Amino acid sequence: MSGEMDKPLISRRLVDSDGSLAEVPNKAPKVGILGSGDFARSLATRLVSSGFSVVVGSRNPKRTAGLFPSAAQVTFQEEAVSSPQVIFVAVFREHYSSLCSLGDQLAGKILVDVSNPTEKEHLQNHQSNAEYLASLFPACTVVKAFNVISAWALQSGPRDGNRQVLICSDQLEAKHTISEMARTMGFTPLDMGSLASAREIEAIPLRLFPSWKVPILLALGLFVCFYAYNFIRDVLHPYVRKHENKFYKMPLSVVNTTLPCVAYVMLSLVYLPGVLAAALQLRRGTKYQRFPDWLDHWLQHRKQIGLLSFFFGMLHALYSFCLPLRRSHRYDLVNLAVKQVLDNKTRLWVEEEVWRMEIYLSMGVLALGTLALLAVTSLPSIANSLNWKEFSFVQVKQISLELQLQLGPGPA
Ligand SMILES: NC(=O)C1=CN([C@@H]2O[C@H](COP(=O)(O)OP(=O)(O)OC[C@H]3O[C@@H](n4cnc5c(N)ncnc54)[C@H](OP(=O)(O)O)[C@@H]3O)[C@@H](O)[C@H]2O)C=CC1
Ligand SMILES: [Fe+3]
């Protein structure tokens, strides 16, 4: 981690270009931050711009001071923790023990644990990071918060998707204080109960696209089933019955016949749970009763199933667009021409083929246009959230979380 100081996520120039970050009102509540990494810098910027007075504790304040807004005071750890009542611990778990010498000064204060474990650490340690911090500082109140907010989201301000800050602690008052701070910073606090929930909160950024797992498995399962059926029908059956070798159809033609089958079934699976839910409500005579779990999950996955259906439909359009590129298609054309000459016909016009190609081409162009529009509107924010130079595992997970929160579950 040591070299990371040289590549700050936010530069001083950028921070100070915002006039509101240059000075802090006199009576602003004081907040301490231990650590001077990415998270500490983004947090300091957001706190200062939300009207807090920030004091940062670093092992080497001289080296790091230039990376913080000038309104934030950067000093040694001992000095930084002396006056604020709330101190954010923006340090990795493995370095918590190096803070033990501050124990006396920290006594009676609120420590906010913002850390995220890696998947390996999460499996290895049965105690959450927050509970571990609480065991090292028994005289402090530990609150778990802000770990699901990436440094980038903190820096650029809360946006629609990732506004929620999950908070847990054993002390109600401390939880309230941090909730109010989160609110002042523009986030939405969400009470997750006692500190025992910290492990659950720490696991959230580790889950990669959780609500996509079932729809993707479903789509793959359907694809395998339909592919097997189409393979038997279009390739195996002609081979067994008439000894026709049509195995060349496997990579393109059979796949292309399979794609719309999957797309249609997935599309029907988007609408079916709504109909079932309506029927259930009519039967029960009320809409104020919980749906069974299976129906509830199904309803919540409709958006993902619908997007996958759209994806398979688009793939079908692209595959169909490629069909005339095949050599077999050229042979068919030549054979048709020969047949035409032999039959003495003057004009060959296969109406169905013509329409098919016209429609596929227009769908292909529409799809490409939609994709280009999506790329233009959403790529900058994704690229922004990737801190390319300091690309860490946890950040990848957080991007997935951000996307996940932005996509959200379908309307229940
Ligand atoms: N980056 C992100 O997007 C997010 C990070 N987090 C969490 O925030 C915490 C900090 O992350 P991040 O800022 O990215 O990490 P960095 O590596 O960028 O910063 C860690 C900081 O820890 C401080 N530190 C204190 N004691 C030690 C020590 N003994 N050895 C090494 N460093 C020490 C260092 O500051 P100094 O040298 O000045 O003492 C260093 O700058 C982590 O727990 C992480 O899980 C949570 C959500 C998002
Ligand atoms: Fe088709």
Predicted-complex ipTM score: 0.96
Lowest-confidence range among 38-52, 77-91, 317-331?
317-331
C-alpha R_g of the chain: 29
Ligand 1 lined by 91 (C-beta under 6 Å)? yes
pLDDT value, residue 383 = 56
340 pLDDT higher than 50 = yes
Band of the pLDDT at 398, cuts 50, 70, 90?
low
Which protein residue's CA is at the shortest distance from atom 44 of ligand 1?
115
Lowest-confidence range among 167-181, 185-199, 333-347, 392-406?
392-406
Which one of 127-131, 347-351, 384-388 scores highest in mean pLDDT?
127-131
Ion ligand 2, residues whose Cβ is below 5 A away: 260
Handedness of CA 47, 49, 52, 57 (dihedral sign): positive
Average pLDDT score over residue span 369-385: 74
Distance CA 285, CA 282 (A): 5
pLDDT value, residue 393 = 47
Average pLDDT score over residue span 53-61: 96
Is the model more confident about 47 or about 15? 47
Distance CA 217, CA 27 (A): 56
Nearest to 90 by CA among 119, 68, 123, 62: 68
Lowest-confidence range among 263-272, 322-331, 378-387?
378-387
CA of 92 to the centre of ligand 1 (A): 5
Nearest-ligand number for the alpha carbon of 148: 1
Residues facing 76 on adjacent strands: 58
Band of the pLDDT at 322, cuts 50, 70, 90?
confident
Ligand 1 lined by 40 (C-beta under 6 Å)? yes
pLDDT value, residue 395 = 53
320-340 as b/e, with b when 16 or more CB fall inside 10 Å? bbeeeeeeeeeeeeeeeeeee
109 pLDDT higher than 90 = yes
Atom number of ligand 1 nearest to Cα 152: 3
pLDDT value, residue 349 = 77
Ligand 1 lined by 88 (C-beta under 6 Å)? no
Give 258-299 as a DSSP string. Answer: HHHHHHHHHHHHHHHHHHHHHHHHHHHT-S-SPPPHHHHHHH
CA of 97 to the centre of ligand 1 (A): 14
Nearest to 263 by CA among 320, 208, 207: 320
CA 183 to chain centre: 23
Ligand 1 lined by 230 (C-beta under 6 Å)? no
Average pLDDT score over residue span 380-386: 57
CA of 68 to the centre of ligand 1 (A): 14
Lowest-confidence range among 112-116, 261-265, 356-360?
356-360
Nearest to 316 by CA among 271, 261, 234: 261
303 pLDDT higher than 70 = yes
pTM: 0.65
Ligand 1 lined by 38 (C-beta under 6 Å)? yes
- Whole-angstrom distance between the N-terminal and C-terminal Cα of the chain? 43
Q: CB-based contacts of 146: which residues, under 8 Å, 6+ apart?
A: 43, 88, 112, 114, 154, 165, 182
Is the model more confident about 52 or about 327? 52
Distance CA 220, CA 227 (A): 10
Residues 49 and 21: beta-carbon distance below 8 Å: yes
pLDDT value, residue 25 = 53
Mean pLDDT of the chain: 85
Distance CA 151, CA 38 (A): 6
Distance CA 375, CA 337 (A): 44
Lowest-confidence range among 6-20, 110-124, 353-367?
6-20
pLDDT value, residue 143 = 97
Ligand 1 lined by 390 (C-beta under 6 Å)? no
Atom number of ligand 1 nearest to Cα 129: 43
Band of the pLDDT at 74, cuts 50, 70, 90?
very high
226 pLDDT higher than 50 = yes
Helix (H) or strand (E) holding 54: strand 53-58
3-class secondary structure per residue, 9-29 = CCCHHHHHHCHHHCCCCCCCC
pLDDT value, residue 11 = 47
Q: Which residue has the tokens 């090292």?
A: 136
Average pLDDT score over residue span 273-289: 93
219 pLDDT higher than 60 = yes
354 pLDDT higher than 60 = yes
Residue 3's CB is within 10 A of a number of other CB atoms, namely: 8
Q: Which amino acid is at 133?
A: L
CA 227 to chain centre: 31
Band of the pLDDT at 155, cuts 50, 70, 90?
confident
